[in-house]
Structures are given as C-alpha cells and as structure tokens.
Amino acid sequence: MSRSARTASAYHRLTGYRRGRLTPHALDWAHQPRPRKPYPQLARIPFPTDLSMPEMDYADLVCQAGQSVPAPQTDLDLNTLAALFHLTHAVTARSMHGDQPFYYRSIASAGALYPFEMYLAVHDVQGVAAGVYHYDLFDFALTRLREGAVPLTPSSARRVAATIYISGIFFRSAWKYRGRAYRYVLLDAGHLLENLRLALTALGLGFCVHTDFDDARVAALLGLDEGREGGLVCVHLFSSEGGKGRLAPVADPSPLPNDIRDASRVSAREVTYTEIQEIHRAGYGPAPTATGRERQPVSPGWHPRTWIDLPPSSPAGHTDYARLLWQRRSRRNFVSQSISMDHLAAFLDPMATSVAGTCMPTGEIVAIGLLAGAGTPVAPGAYLFDPHGRRLGQLAGGAMLESMARACLDQMWLKNAAFHLLFVSDPKALDQAWGARGYRYAMLEAGRLGQQAYLAATALGWGACGIGAIYDREAADLLGLTRDGALLYLVGIGPLKGR
C-alpha cells in the first residue's frame, strides 16, 4: 500500500485509528506550542473596548445568515471591526490550571489547542490605514504586518472594503494529534468560520466566503511560513452602497521580513509530519474544475427505510446571541432525561438553515446523521437528517450509543448523551470531484455545522461535546457506510446534570 497522503482518501486512510494499533505518544509539555504568534515589535492598533453589541435573537440570526447576502447595512470602521472580531473569536473566561492560565474561548477546539489565526487586509475602511494586519486575541488589537494598498486576493466583482483570512498552524494540533492533526485544524477553522458568518450577519455586513483561492499568493501576502501555516478561508467584506466601482489593481507586494515569517513557528521543538504537508500541498488552489458534481450531494451510501416529519419548531422566547456565545462550553456531564419532539426539532432547525447557507463552492458534501438514544422522541437507532424536508429517515433500529462510544476510543461518557450528531462524507468521491482540496471543503463544513450544534444545544440548556478521535473503520461499519464512507466528526448532545 502506498504511503502517499496526496489525496483525501489516502490521507484519511493513513491517519485512521484502528483498535489495538495506536502508537503510544507522550506529550512534550516542555515544548507545548505557544497560543499566540511571537511577532517582533510592530505597530499596533488597539481595539476600543467599550463596545456596543447588536441585540439579536439567536433563532432570527441563524435564519438571516441562511439567506442570500444583502447589501451592507453598516459602514466598516474601527468600532465595527472591534465588534466583529469580538463576536467571532473572544476570550470568555479565565482560570488557572496549575500555575498556568487557561483561557476559555467562544469557539470549540479539539484539545483546546486553537490552531487557527485571523488576519485582516484593509482596502477601504474608515479610520484604518490600508495594509495587512494580524488579530491579537489576547491584547484585543491589530498588529500591522504591511502598510499601504495590497492586492485583492481572491478577486471580486464587487467593491471590497476588507478581507478576513483564516489560517491554520499545523503544529499547534500536531503536538498532540501528530499526523492526524490536519483533520482537527480544518474542523477548528470551520468552527471559527461559523462564528464569523453569524457575526457578520448580526452586524449587517455584506460578505462572501471563499474557500478556493491561490494558496501561495495568500501565504506571501500574510507572511506565512508555508511549511508551518496555511491559509484556509478568505472572507470579503463589501463596501456599502456609497463605495462605487471595483478597487484599482495593485501589484503583489514584496516578501515580508523573515522575522514575520518565523512567527509561524510556535515551539522551539517542532515535528514535521509528512502526511500533513502532502495533503495540504496537494490541495493548493485554485482547485481544478469539478467533474460535473459541484452541486450534487456526496452520498455516504445511506438509504432510509421510513421518514419521520419534524413538527414546526417554536423557539422558547428570546435568546440573546451575544450572551449565548459567551455561555458556550464543551460540556459532557450528560444525564438520562427524556427530550420532547419539539425540542429535537428546535435543535435541528439551525442545522437545516445552516446547510442552506453553506459556505462551500461544492453543494452538500457532508451528510448529517443522528444516533438516537432511549430518551429521544424517536425510536433508538440511526437516522439520516434531511435538512430540506426537515425530516429524519430511519436507517437502522436498536441501541447504538454505547457501541459508538466504544468506537470513539472507548470514551464511555458518550453513551449517556441523548443523541449523537454525525457528520459523514466520502473522501474518495471528494477526490473524484474536486481533487485533494475537496477534503478541506468537507472538513471545514463539518466544523462549521459542528459549531452551530454547540450553539443550538446551549440555547436549549443542553450540553455538547465534539469528538474527532474515532476508530474510523469501526465507526463506519457501525453506521453502515460504504467502503469509502467516513465519519468525519461526531458531537454528543443532551441534557446535563444539575440543569
């Protein structure tokens, strides 16, 4: 068998977990990755802290975010940017773990390693000079990396005021998860993307998400060390109607100094995993033209026996989005407690709306499944969720939560969840349609929907905890997937003790 990881199917197979075949791995705590990039002394713009957050109901916001992007209702300035970054990625609490501070954040992350970074290219923002900036979460500030006009990457037919870039630093996750870490880097970037999408909608900003772009050009613009950090998502923020015409072309700038590029190194002792390098480089864009499947769902081989229509959901009162975001945590102290069909429908509604507002250029490439436990209003078993018809299709009957908990590296607390939300795809089909970049699309989308699952559970007072550590083939067989089908991500959901 080839050890190359240059396709989605090869990488997913090579980094799969198999029972009894996991190589022991001790964490190198002396060289744990730094949570912030160590930039040299550069000019900074502090964000204002006396922010006025928009008051918006969570259910209304999700509904608006699933619709077509309107013309911007808000001009971009420093105050608006501050609110945008605060609603996207913020520290929500602080505690001490031994003698080290730990910062809770508004975004879910595998192992709380937070491998992503955010950058801002300013083209036409009131009160902020044109250039490229890095977002410093901990100081709530922008660090200037470039001064002056910069090229619009990727191109746009509309006038763009600014572009936000999401990157992933591979070793932040690989320190713990080794070659499998690329999965978690993408899932976590997807978590961040969904927060960004909701924040932009809440602030009335017009935008367009791009997951297909020239990787090398973006890396050069941001000053990334391409062996350590890669661009994953670009989001254009449009100018209001007052801004007329497209931006004037700007030549690609000179490379940034080495000390800026060296900031992609986050540990004195880093390990390079070939499989991560291969799959990321193999997916360099622009992506090849899809082979006629760009709007066709990727099927994991599920064929429901019968369908159950969900009732119209009726959210219980106003749920302030900003407060909800601050309350989000990974919680798994599940308790056996029945949930109603109305509550199940209220949970699944944001999933359906978020699928309709997909950020991917590929149509639906992730199927959503559900493993129901005894406390759910449907019979225990496996179901396919149809987001367009708002219905559940039964795939198999019987108690499956405990078996899935075992397939998730014997994390037996998962059997106490009310249900497991499943994100499933077919890596081989991704290769055939979009090449290696299709893997990015699928994992980003699974992470994006997973973040929405955290928020929807929190709104109902439930717990949610995401799992990417899976005995891959064991889980696929349990779910009756095709030979090439794969469970990308699982989120345990349910009522909590003491709630």
Residue-wise pLDDT for 239-269, tens only, equals 886 555 678 889 999 999 999 999 999 999 9
pLDDT at 186 over 60: yes
Task: Tell me the residue length of the chain.
Answer: 499
Check if the beta carbon of residue 372 is closer than 8 Å to that of residue 385: no
Mean pLDDT of 70-82: 84
Residues of the chain with CATH 3.40.109.10: 32-282, 306-494
- Tens of pLDDT along 6-21? 999 999 999 999 999 9
- Tens of pLDDT along 437-461? 999 999 999 999 999 999 999 999 9
- Distance (Å, rounded) from C-alpha 458 to C-alpha 34? 29
Q: Exposed (0-12), middle (13-18) or buried (19+): which is 312, by Cβ within 10 Å?
A: exposed
CATH code at 32-282: 3.40.109.10
pLDDT at 52: 86
- Tens of pLDDT along 399-438? 999 999 999 999 999 999 999 999 999 999 999 989 999 9
Q: Exposed (0-12), middle (13-18) or buried (19+): which is 71, by Cβ within 10 Å?
A: exposed
Check if the beta carbon of residue 309 is closer than 8 Å to that of residue 388: no
Of 248-257, 350-359, 487-496, minimum mean pLDDT range: 350-359
pLDDT at 293: 47
pLDDT at 102: 87
pLDDT at 2: 56
Check if the beta carbon of residue 370 is closer than 8 Å to that of residue 382: yes
CATH number 3.40.50.970 given to 306-494: no
- Tens of pLDDT along 122-167? 999 999 999 999 999 999 999 999 999 999 999 998 899 999 999 9
pLDDT at 69: 59
Q: Residue 36 gets which letter from DSSP?
A: S
**Does the CA dihedral 367-373-376-379 come out positive or negative?**
positive
pLDDT at 98: 77
Q: What's the angle, vertex CA 352, arms to CA 347 and CA 354, rounded to 5? A: 100
- Distance (Å, rounded) from C-alpha 162 to C-alpha 122? 5
pLDDT at 1: 41
Mean pLDDT of 31-43: 93
pLDDT at 190: 97
pLDDT at 75 over 90: no
Which residues are CB-contacts of 406 (< 8 A; sequence separation ≥ 6)? 412, 474
Q: What's the angle, vertex CA 258, arms to CA 254 and CA 264, rounded to 5? A: 110
pLDDT at 378: 98
pLDDT at 294 over 80: no
Q: pLDDT band for 72, please (50, 70, 90 cuts).
A: confident
- Distance (Å, rounded) from C-alpha 203 to C-alpha 240? 13
Check if the beta carbon of residue 203 is closer than 8 Å to that of residue 240: no
- Distance (Å, rounded) from C-alpha 3 to C-alpha 13? 10
Q: pLDDT band for 289, please (50, 70, 90 cuts).
A: low
